[in-house]
Amino acid sequence: MKKKIIVLIISALFFFLNCSLHSLAEPFYKSNYSNALLDVYYENGKWIIENIGDETAENVVYSKVVTAMLVFAGKSSSGNIGFLEPGEKYVILEGLLFGFGLAKMTLTVDADNAETCEREISGLLFGMFFILI
């Protein structure tokens, strides 16, 4: 009988501690974003950033990183687009890229009022040519 009471008291104690800790914790997901939604894709040798949301994306910035065995030129680049209206597209041309080996190219786009969007493509970097795999 004493064991049942002790187990009951310990269970109740854990229950109340658990409830009080959950009420003090911040919510798991907070969203301060509006209806701006960014999409990124690679097409015909250029990156395209598009606002597929309903609101203007503000302070849009991007960064491109190329990782390969050897990259001599064009390893990274970044830029600030500013505002991107709904349905509007922004094209990022490749620029000078020179290296060798299996490669990954990653473009990350962020805005003040939209979630971060990141896309990665894989390919073979042979001199100035990036061949998609």
d(CA 64, CA 118) in angstroms, rounded, equals 10
CATH number for the domain including 74?
2.60.40.10
d(CA 45, CA 31) in angstroms, rounded, equals 34
With beta carbons less than 8 A apart as the criterion, state whether 97 and 66 touch.
yes
Quick check: is 9 in a domain? no
Quick check: is 79 in a domain? yes
Least confident of 7-16, 41-50, 68-77: 7-16
Quick check: is 118 in a domain? yes
Asked if pLDDT for residue 81 goes beyond 90, the answer is yes
Selection from 73, 132, 65 nearest residue 97 by Cα: 73
Selection from 101, 107, 108 nearest residue 124 by Cα: 101
Quick check: is 1 in a domain? no
Quick check: is 25 in a domain? no
Q: Which residues of 72-102 are buried (b: 16+ CB within 10 A; e: fewer)?
A: eebeebeeebeebeeeeebebebeebebeee
Query: Which structural domain, as residue segments, surrounds residue 127?
Result: 38-132
Quick check: is 56 in a domain? yes
Look at the chain and report how many structural domains it folds into: 1
Quick check: is 111 in a domain? yes
Average pLDDT, whole number, for the chain? 82
pLDDT digits (tens, 9 = 90+) for 16-27: 444 443 334 433
Quick check: is 47 in a domain? yes
**Could you tell me which residue, 1 or 118, shows the higher pLDDT?**
118
